[in-house]
Amino acid sequence: MTTFDAAVIGGGLAGCLAATHLARGGMSVALFEKRSTAHHKVCGEFISGEGVPLLHEVGVSLEQATHISNMRLHGPTRSCEAPLPTAARGLSRLLLDELLLKAAQESGVELMRGEAVKTLEQADGLFRLGGVTARRVVCATGKAEFKPVQTRAGRDSGMVGFKVHLRLPAKARDRLRQYVDLFVFENGYGGLAPVEDGLTNLCFLMEREAIAKVQGDWPHVSRWLSGACEGLAGYLDNAEPAFWPMATVANVPYGFVRESAVSDDIYCVGDQLAVIPSLTGEGMTIAMQTGKRAAECILAGVGAKEFQLEMAAVVRPRVQLGFLVHRLFKSPRISDLGTQLVNRWPRLVEYIFRHTRSPAV
Ligand SMILES: Cc1cc2nc3c(=O)[nH]c(=O)nc-3n(C[C@H](O)[C@H](O)[C@H](O)COP(=O)(O)OP(=O)(O)OC[C@H]3O[C@@H](n4cnc5c(N)ncnc54)[C@H](O)[C@@H]3O)c2cc1C
């Protein structure tokens, strides 16, 4: 049985960043990813400006990504717009996650594709998992619970996430160029962002009790969303889905922050460490920052307990502010009021953006 310096469970943003930095630091690394092929993940696909250098650092090219420098906010009946403090990018997770896995492999990581790790045994200072042994483990399974590591029980936002790529008519696509549009409706909110190949990502969250409203074919879903939020109608008329059915995810544990480590050799990163509400567009960057930081700690001999305390202190204030905005956002009346406030004080957007961004760690 091969023994690795580290085993990383989960080949998303956090896992790939951790594995690549560990391998670049000279460690032998096994990376387990349960999905055997590229697939659509539920995500707004908005990469915040703070995340861009982290991708460049591991050699991921963003040449296919779109540039996003402004945002519009549509309440049920009112809209506003404001510039973003830092330019963001739009790129599908279908492409981004594959680029990250490739970067990890090119750094010397042993990728075990199509391997779901189910158990983790520890004996004589070694972990045994997925047919290998390893000295340390990085848990990067995202929203999926990994049983051997303490779960996030009790943190369920009651929201279900949906995602589909759309081909918009040329006029609507031009209107969205360089913009991310956020929209709020009774029972949920979402975003439209331009991604590669002229496609537009429509991603939204709905309260679980209300999802029957968006069950059916695309004409039904599009009609319902356009009726629920005036600002959306102009985009969805004559738009065609690039795939169907929509990708979905349930039980999103918004607001979760892991406060302590399970063991000094198991490092939890990404959504396993903290889950910031999606409307902040910061989850991917936190995943990359914590993945990279875990690698730095492992390479420097810093244990998982210290890593976890440091990371919780860095991300907790951001997650708390994001959670507050998420709760206010869910109220159509407050979001309409929010658009009025932003029209009067566009710097409010800058304030929320800056305070939900994690400083470089
Ligand atoms: C509706 C919605 C919209 C969002 N929009 C945005 C946005 O616009 N911008 C943004 O920055 N963030 C957004 N986020 C958050 C962002 O998607 C996550 O924070 C980010 O993907 C977390 O990265 P991760 O690496 O921790 O997990 P993931 O990206 O989920 O990766 C986890 C990986 O682990 C694998 N895995 C799971 N279990 C196992 C196992 N047992 N063995 C092996 N492999 C396993 C999975 O297959 C997966 O590939 C959004 C989230 C939601 C729900």
CATH number at residue 47: 3.50.50.60
Say how far apart CA 62 and CA 40 lie, in whole Å: 18
Name residues whose C-beta falls within 8 Å of residue 171's C-beta, 6 or more positions apart in sequence: none
Q: Same structural domain for residues 12 and 151?
A: yes
Regarding whether 39 and 178 lie in a shared domain, the answer is no
pTM here?
0.95
Rounded distance between C-alpha atoms, residue 55 and residue 98, angstroms: 13
Whether 224 shows a pLDDT value over 80: the answer reads yes
How far is residue 78's CA from residue 33's CA, in Å, rounded to a whole number? Answer: 43
- pLDDT, residue 152, reads 73
CA separation, residue 242 to residues 112, 142, 163, 348 (Å): 30, 25, 11, 35
Residue range of the domain that includes 336: 3-66+93-155+254-356
Residue 238 Cα to ligand 1 midpoint, Å, equals: 30
**Mean of all residue pLDDT scores within the chain:** 91
Pick the range with the lowest mean pLDDT from 14-18, 180-184, 340-344. 340-344
Residue 46 CA: nearest ligand 1 atom is 8
Atom of ligand 1 lying closest to residue 283 CA: 19
The helix, strand and coil proportions of the chain, stated in percent and rounded to the nearest 5, come to 40, 25, 35
Give residues (CB < 6 A) around ligand 1: 9-15, 32-35, 42-46, 116-117, 140-144, 146, 161, 203, 205, 249, 252, 270-271, 278, 281-285, 287
CATH at residue 225: 3.30.9.100
Q: What is the pLDDT of residues 263-277, one digit of tens each?
A: 999 999 999 999 999
Name which of 217-221, 249-253, 300-304 the model is least confident about: 249-253
Which residue is it, tokens 């995810």? 249
Hey, which of 141, 146, 160, 248 would you mutate to test ligand 1's pocket, going by the most ligand atoms within 8 Å of its Cβ? Answer: 141
Residue 81 pLDDT grade (very low, low, confident, very high; cuts 50, 70, 90): confident
Task: Answer yes or no: do 32 and 144 share one domain.
Answer: yes
- Residue pLDDT, tens place only, 138-171: 999 998 888 888 777 667 888 999 999 999 999 9
The residue assigned the tokens 């902040």 is 280
CB 225 within 8 A of CB 185: yes
| Residue 336 in domain | yes
**In the chain, what is the greatest distance between 2 CA atoms, to the nearest angstrom?**
64
Q: pLDDT value at position 142?
A: 95
Give me the number of domains the chain comprises.
2
Cα 249 from Cα 244, distance rounded (Å) = 15
In terms of Cα–Cα distance, which of 106, 105, 110 is closest to 4? 110
Reading phi first (left if > 0) and then psi (alpha if -120 to 50, else beta), residue 208 is in: alpha
Ligand 1, atom 15, residue with closest C-alpha:
283
